[in-house]
Structure 1
């Protein structure tokens, strides 16, 4: 059976902060309607390499996207490629590096900010380039894409948690409150997505440290959340998903051919 998927990547969100600060998502967990897992991100714990890892299942050493300044199209097959090749529709409201990885590189705002092109892997897109672009606007961008295009796969990628971490550090009210704000914004959309039949995954690329950065091996930099919501998930307490399995697991849910690793314990 095929399902429509929304993948939310809350950039820079540490697992422990997600666990204790995101009350709306945790209400679903407490009600038995979601599950929260701890993932360890691949290395290096940097954004562009881990966007590539999440969306292609390929770790940075193998993808060649080894730091944030590797600005080129991906040479791997992503969820967007598998879905569009199978005749499904794809969309993303995301940071412009996502457009550069899978649609066109370099990013040209006048051409690429708003994308509608069924020949591209990401067929419909709203892309931004300032880290302080408000999460409230980004979620509204995503919902516009969902309502207008009814995509089978939608990526939602806000940046304000990461931005707060780089400005203030992990153990600060600003960082924690940015996570709380994202949770409150999600509360406006989440049940509507589920009612529309979407399976929802909420995760992060990497965490954050008290030096206001990330790139190393500290648990607070590498441990990230994975919330799963929807009737296709098992909510198994013994599932141990890897970040490299997100791509294949989502392709499995979409019902599209792929050759990526899958965390089958996550699925019914």
Structure 2
């Protein structure tokens, strides 16, 4: 049953090749004809804060102006939160505090801004963490609470532990690969809850991670990330095309059945119905 509601999950620093080799549950959904899988090429610089803004507004850094992780200010663009809210839909997020700084309040006050519920802000219901090692398991528990208690039309979820272990141990480490396995296990519990409630689900990443334990450059390891889509509006198949990260925001708009912003690129994603 389609309800025009979307859960967007951005697994920080999840490389495309590691997602394909270590996310057994997600691959099961692909092989079972439930999910579509694409390879996305992120914008550059392949850094977190600029790419959060790119994913959520559909605009590149040259347009949105968030060019580094040190740029701390509210977005000047129409984000998916703004667009959903102006269309009468409810918004929510369980995410890193930089997301709050982009769309709700900047700079983030750790004593006041961690829990933001029933606000008139673009993210109406937000649970924000501010330490990179904050457990992904806790974050998905909070997302489940938002799903059940607030019933948002658009829910954004952003776990950080893959990125944290990548920086500590590099992408060429058992710790990084095992953390990807752990996120996959969390998704195997959480995604069925989303589907039971009629949500379409997108799982992707902002950027990748290198064997040096960093990201920001122009290599495939820095830039190539997965895109899994669970929706009746997208054909369940494996696509060989390399997809622009700019297409994620208009894809969410298509699934929510709201108008994209004028700054977004046209949606040309293979398999969209």
CA RMSD of aligned residues (A): 1.3
**Aligned 8 A contact 2:37 2:237 in 1:** no
d(CA) in 1 for partners of 2:123, 2:271: 26
**Aligned 8 A contact 1:202 1:228 in 2:** yes
Moved more, 237-246 or 95-104: 237-246
Q: Does 1:234 align with 2:235?
A: yes
Name the SS of the counterpart of 1:199 in structure 2. strand
For structure 1, the 5+ residue unaligned runs are: none
Equivalenced residues, count: 268
Q: Does 1:222 align with 2:223?
A: yes
Moved more, 244-253 or 80-89: 244-253
TM-score (norm 2): 0.95
Aligned residue number for residue 101 of structure 1? 102
Aligned residue number for residue 265 of structure 1? 270
Q: Does 1:29 align with 2:30?
A: yes
Q: What is the deviation of 1:2?
A: 5.9
Name the SS of the counterpart of 1:112 in structure 2. coil
Superposed CA deviations along residues 80-128 of structure 1, whole A, max 9, x for unmatched, are 0000011100000000000000001011122211111341000001000
For structure 2, the 5+ residue unaligned runs are: none
CA pair 187-115 structure 1, distance change in 2 beyond 3 A: same
Aligned residue number for residue 251 of structure 1? 253
**Aligned 8 A contact 2:94 2:139 in 1:** yes
Moved more, 113-122 or 126-135: 113-122
Q: What is the deviation of 1:240?
A: 4.9
TM-score (norm 1): 0.97
Aligned residue number for residue 128 of structure 1? 129
Name the SS of the counterpart of 1:241 in structure 2. strand
**Aligned 8 A contact 1:206 1:224 in 2:** yes
